[in-house]
């Protein structure tokens, strides 16, 4: 649906009324007042949302003994809310793609689309209609046969699921990690996976089932991890 189509329909019913420019003016005024939003209905196997937490976690570089800050990658399936979390060296393209692949392995399947934020490792140039993807990430998507749908800039509602999961990760994982002594990146990820399992197995608020319970069904709707040439983008 577009404003132009709406105007043509309006003109058919009210031929002796506003001109197009005036219609657009009142439409923009209406949008400013209403601030409308849309509730997104999630379909099993449809999308996974990915992002980085804004707060890093410390780890020890085993080669130098230096304490460094790990980037925390978070992925979540839209329907089941089943999550994956990983500590990474950086947000480099190679690290990012590896984390995305690890998430697919953890999910044991591939959704129809991945929705990243406008990360440099995924999106080179943002565009409302056709963003320019990083070539390596595009090849990775073609390899597994999923579509990349970058979230719009400054539109948090596009990835509200993963932003909410980041907050849950702070509460259910970070609070335990900070209580332990600082370890290597490998040990840090072992701890993260331990608490992540508890997070996914815990009952959802006000529900008698968990993310893991919902995942039992969503997993049947995911594509298999092996390459399927029929699904790969040209």
What's the chain's average pLDDT?
84
Query: Same domain for 167 and 203?
Result: yes
The alpha helices in the chain, defined as continuous H runs, are 3-13, 20-34, 93-107, 135-144, 160-169, 175-177, 185-201, 211-218
Of 31-35, 55-59, 199-203, 206-210, give the lowest mean pLDDT range. Answer: 31-35
Query: Same domain for 150 and 193?
Result: yes
The answer to whether the CB of 88 falls within 8 A of the CB of 206 is no
Query: Same domain for 197 and 100?
Result: yes
Examine residue 228 and state whether it is found in any structural domain, yes or no.
no
What are 63-110's pLDDT values in tens digits? 999 999 999 999 999 999 999 999 999 999 999 999 999 999 999 999
The pLDDT of residue 37 is: 52
What residue numbers bound the domain in which 25 lies? 3-34
Which pTM value belongs to this model?
0.76
Query: Same domain for 53 and 155?
Result: yes
Examine residue 147 and state whether it is found in any structural domain, yes or no.
yes
Q: Indicate whether 171 pLDDT > 60.
A: yes
CA 201, CA 197: separation in Å to the nearest integer?
6
Residue 184's beta-bridge partner residues? 60
The structural domain count of the chain equals: 2
Counting residues of the chain whose pLDDT is more than 90, the rounded percentage is: 55
Q: Which residues contact 224 (CB under 8 A, 6 or more apart)?
A: 109, 110
Query: Same domain for 160 and 59?
Result: yes
Assign 3-class secondary structure to 221-232.
HCECCCCCCCCC
């Amino acid at each position: 649906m577009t404003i132009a189509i709406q105007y043509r329909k309006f003109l058919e019913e009210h031929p002796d009324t506003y001109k197009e420019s005036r219609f657009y003016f009142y439409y923009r005024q209406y949008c400013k007042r209403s601030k409308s939003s849309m509730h997104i209905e999630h379909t099993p196997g449809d999308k996974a949302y990915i992002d980085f937490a804004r707060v890093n976690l410390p780890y020890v570089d085993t080669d130098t003994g230096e304490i460094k800050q790990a980037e925390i990658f978070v992925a979540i399936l839209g329907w089941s809310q089943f999550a994956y979390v990983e500590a990474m060296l950086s947000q480099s393209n190679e690290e990012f793609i590896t984390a995305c692949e690890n998430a697919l392995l953890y999910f044991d399947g591939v959704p129809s689309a991945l929705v990243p934020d406008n990360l440099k490792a995924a999106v080179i140039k943002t565009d409302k209609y056709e963003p320019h993807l990083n070539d390596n990430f595009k090849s990775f998507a073609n390899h597994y046969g999923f579509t990349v749908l970058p979230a719009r800039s400054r539109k948090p509602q596009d990835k509200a699921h993963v932003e909410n999961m980041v907050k849950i990760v702070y509460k259910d994982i970070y609070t335990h990690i900070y209580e332990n002594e600082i370890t290597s990146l490998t040990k840090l990820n072992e701890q993260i996976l331990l608490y992540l399992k508890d997070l996914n197995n815990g009952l959802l608020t006000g529900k008698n089932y968990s993310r893991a319970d919902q995942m039992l069904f969503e997993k049947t709707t995911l594509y298999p991890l092996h390459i399927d040439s029929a699904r790969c983008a040209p």
